[in-house]
Structure 1
């Protein structure tokens, strides 16, 4: 699993940061890419990466502010010309259906693939054999959500040495044991899978939050995440301004990461008042509270490795 930050700015695009869009690439796990928010010019940002738009089959919208949705109609339209035939599902707050349908209708856009739109509320919004996605309402000026992506635990490794010690030689029988609770060998020996499989490999957890103030209220939702992606629109000294505009500071996001026992914190949604050179001291503000903090710039990538 890899996070690719296509846009890391707040409010309006700047020369150094485009507005918000984050891709979660899961080619090995699910042969797909999920997109979180789709600010203006997201499809242009995608062109500068190896991402194939046809591989994007889910888009999660945190809220309806323009810097998070104005790139959506253009991306949906262009995907028709870029080999996208599979169904694409958009998850978002109330109003996302009207926004999409009105944009496509008034522009005379006809998609070549099935489009599903799901307006979310708090709780589980999606589940399949590999992942479950939950959402939580955040404190912002309009309805806004955070998403928690939970990978399901994977079956442990087959204990080949133990099988050999029991007289079971390598061969197709090993695959049968992995796939079935009970297997009878040709000589009549009954093998219980549970006796020859190691502990399950725990799945990874990624939490991606939309815009929010008072992030401490989200501690239980992001708890034990392997990676927390959090906005940090303002520096620590601008806490009052952050509160007025329903946003967070570097220090507030770092305190949440510390209190919720997350493994890694990535800050994004940085105000255009800060330039690239400011990343150093903005990062230091957060690292003073939570050392494993990074500030994302456009096209920053990070891998969330599988757990042992």
Structure 2
């Protein structure tokens, strides 16, 4: 599991930063999900190793332009990629009207199936690999945060126990690892629980849209392996942050600390701050949450499996 930042600017792009978009890579085949698609996101994808035919889900946090103006063009361009299968688009109420209006007025046609789901707070996705929970944040318009949680992995096989019980190498090992009990040729029943360790906890990554500090931001980030949180304003600008529905670097660190997150990456920086100023504010927030870092354009961050 790995994330790539395709845009880290707030409100409008700058020469150094594009507006918001983050990719979540799920496996070695570079299958990925996209969180927000500000203007120019498909151009940023061209500068990465990611291909639109490997994209199968998009999650929009809210309907402000710096988070979705790049969506219609990206969806239209995906038709030109061979092997682009069905795509699911999630977002707040209004996302369907936005996309359908853009396609109707521009007479665009997609060569793949697009399913648009208007989300509400709660469990959004539950499949055999991941769950995705959505909660509502506090911004000027309805805005969501998403928490992606990987299902637990089977525990390690106890090789010494398998040898002692006479379990042969082959398909039976796979069944035991999947939690299935097996019957040996000699009639002995081998229980999976007797030859496997405890399940390995899955990883959790939380992607928050624009928000002032709120309880649901803490819930989404609870013990997350990685929390991606906006940091639009500098410490000391809390009143302005509140007025515009945003957070400061210090407030983002406080949310991560309250949530017990393992790692915090801040993004969505005001264009008034250059990289040096961003790093200075990150350093200042380490007194609250030491494991904080600033997102960078095209930065790749690995989310390691728990040991």
Q: TM-score range by the shorter chain?
A: over 0.9
Q: Which residue of 1 aligns with 2:155?
A: 156
Structure 1 position 11, deviation (Å): 0.3
SS at match of 1:89: strand
User: Deviations along 1:187-245, whole A, 9 cap, x unmatched?
Assistant: 11111111111110000011100000124552123211000000000011111110111
Q: Which structure 1 residue ranges, 4+ long, deviate > 4 Å from structure 2?
A: none
Structure 1 position 94, deviation (Å): 0.7
User: Deviations along 1:82-134, whole A, 9 cap, x unmatched?
Assistant: 22531101000011000000101111111000000000000011121100001
SS at match of 1:112: coil
The TM-score normalised by the length of structure 2 is 0.97
Match status 1:129 vs 2:128:
yes
User: Deviations along 1:242-278, whole A, 9 cap, x unmatched?
Assistant: 0111100000000111111100000000000001221
Q: How far, CA to CA, are the matches of 1:152 and 1:118 in structure 2?
A: 23
Q: Which residue of 2 aligns with 1:4?
A: 4
Q: Which residue of 2 aligns with 1:265?
A: 264
Q: Which residue of 1 aligns with 2:71?
A: 72
Answer whether contact 2:265 2:292 (CA < 8 A) is retained: yes
Q: How do 1:134-283 residues align onto structure 2 when only pairs under 5 Å count?
A: 134-179=133-178, 181-283=180-282
The TM-score normalised by the length of structure 1 is 0.96
Structure 1 position 179, deviation (Å): 4.1
Q: RMSD across aligned C-alpha pairs, in angstroms?
A: 1.4
Match status 1:304 vs 2:303:
yes
Q: How far, CA to CA, are the matches of 2:293 and 2:224 in structure 1?
A: 15
Answer whether contact 2:154 2:179 (CA < 8 A) is retained: no
Q: How far, CA to CA, are the matches of 1:289 and 1:2 in structure 2?
A: 25
Match status 1:294 vs 2:293:
yes
Structure 1 position 177, deviation (Å): 2.9
Answer whether contact 1:37 1:59 (CA < 8 A) is retained: yes
Q: 1:188 to 1:83 in 2, by over 3 A?
A: same
Q: 1:297 to 1:180 in 2, by over 3 A?
A: closer
The gaps in structure 2 that reach 5 residues or longer are none
Q: 1:227 to 1:180 in 2, by over 3 A?
A: closer
Q: 1:300 to 1:257 in 2, by over 3 A?
A: same
The gaps in structure 1 that reach 5 residues or longer are none
Structure 1 position 173, deviation (Å): 3.2
Q: Which residue of 2 aligns with 1:20?
A: 20
Answer whether contact 1:234 1:248 (CA < 8 A) is retained: yes
Q: How far, CA to CA, are the matches of 2:230 and 2:174 in structure 1?
A: 45
Does 172-181 or 70-79 show the bigger shift? Answer: 172-181
